Amino acid sequence: MAVGLGPLPTLHPVPGFELGIASAGIKRVGRKDVVVMRCAEGSTIAGVTTTNAFCAAPVLITRERLGGAVRYLLTNTGNANAGTGADGLANARRSCAALAALTGVAEDAILPFSTGVIGEPLPVEKIEAALPAALADLKEDNWALAAEGIMTTDTLPKGASRQFQHDGVTVTVTGISKGAGMIRPNMATMLGYIATDAKVAQPVLQDLVRDAANKSFNRITIDGDTSTNDCCMLIATGRAALPEVTEKAGELYAQLKQAVFEVFMEVAQAIVRDGEGATKFVTVQVNGGGNHQECLDVAYAVAHSPLIKTALFASDPNWGRILAAVGYAGVANLDVSLIDVFLGDVCIARQGGRAATYTEEQGAAVMAREEIAIRIELGRGDCSETIWTTDLSHEYVRINAEYRS
């Protein structure tokens, strides 16, 4: 039921970044569920991880090791290794140690990632057994299979790619993501991996991943549930024959930032398009806020309201539910007489009440679309925020009543 999400686009290889996929049989035999990524020596890496206090064991280890010289990223699906206590930490370290033994790199040059069911022991032997096959499969032109290898309840693989020219040199930014439920990223998404062959100093890369995630992964929500395993990693292999980016200025930085932001946005929005049970892709834009937080508060109140989400599923232009959500979003001293609300280009509410020009037919025409924009003008200031979400369908309930996440 993915909305506006087709087959994977061309995913350009990133020189210095290889991916290998294997089947460990963690949850189901024969499913691709282990992905190893190798970064060329001298790569820099930066990342953001979940703010959930119950973060998974691999997240704790990845946080410790970020900033050091990272050479491998080891991902498994089918088991989140979250809520697993000391055993979970030991299992995550053990899987890294196994990969270190096979490759000869230091253990702390390996970052572990897990996604899948919460609270079950990680079947670490199965992962260990699959590592040689994953290593044998390592190649730069393997992004599409890796995008499949990190899927859980996703119905389609997700990826995006950009290239730009600088001083006659082609620079590539390619990324993949996964996630369809338990999605309200807060510093990152379920899992996202984006690599470039630009050479970027680590502090610059860290700012870039934080800023890009804030405008993309941290602006999507499916069910309001922030996951225990969110991680988003940005890797710079430095293989492009260009000077190192050491500060947030200059044309190369600007080009790189543009390409990174575009890839982040595309793979983040792909998660919403493939949201559990989604039949609509919904943009919620809040303008005229006195500050960014109040814009976000209003946008998330609208995006999380089960009443609005079910109305979106029913293609019902039920603007009263939108006004109600704006009203309870917690904005201090909200003057409702200044508020306009638009569905697409149709003004449905003007100065806090039904717009005189509005007809039910106009609203119904917008709601019948698969991609719907809700725009709220607060009339309080100059700040704006935009987030993306889905509707709430019968299929969402079926999936989550049947699937053990």
Query: Annotated binding site for substrate, which residues?
Result: 152, 178, 189, 276, 400, 405
> Which of residues 35 and 367 has its CB atom nearest to a copy of itself in the complex?
367
DSSP 277-344: T---EEEEEEEEESSHHHHHHHHHHHHH-HHHHHHHHTT---HHHHHHHHHTS--TT--GGG-EEEET
Site of interaction with a copy of itself (CB under 8 A): 51-55, 80, 82-88, 117-119, 181-182, 184, 186, 223-228, 304-307, 310-311, 313-314, 316, 318-321, 323-328, 331, 334, 336, 349, 351-354, 392-394, 396-398, 400-402, 404-405
> Which of residues 202 and 310 has its CB atom nearest to a copy of itself in the complex?
310
For residues 207 and 256, give the distance between their C-alpha atoms in angstroms, rounded to a whole number: 13
Shortest spacing between CB 115 and a copy of itself, in angstroms:
12
Residues making up the binding site = 152, 178, 189, 276, 400, 405
Q: Would residue 102 be called left, alpha or beta, if left means φ above 0 and alpha means ψ between -120 and 50 degrees?
A: alpha
Please provide residue 22's backbone torsions phi and psi, each rounded to the nearest 5 degrees. -150, 165
For residues 396 and 234, give the distance between their C-alpha atoms in angstroms, rounded to a whole number: 31
Taking residue 319's Cβ as centre, other Cβ atoms within 10 Å add up to 22
Shortest spacing between CB 317 and a copy of itself, in angstroms:
10
Give every CB contact of residue 87 below 8 A, 6+ residues apart in sequence: 121
Residue 51 falls in the annotated catalytic set: no
> Which of residues 268 and 341 has its CB atom nearest to a copy of itself in the complex?
341
Going by the DSSP 8-state scheme, the letter that residue 402 receives in this structure is H
Shortest spacing between CB 351 and a copy of itself, in angstroms:
7
Shortest spacing between CB 131 and a copy of itself, in angstroms:
26
Which candidate in 189, 237, 279, 389 is catalytic? 189
The DSSP H or E segment spanning 91 is helix 85-103
> Which of residues 80 and 236 has its CB atom nearest to a copy of itself in the complex?
80
| Two structure tokens written together for 310 | 């079910």
Query: Which are the catalytic amino acids?
Result: 189
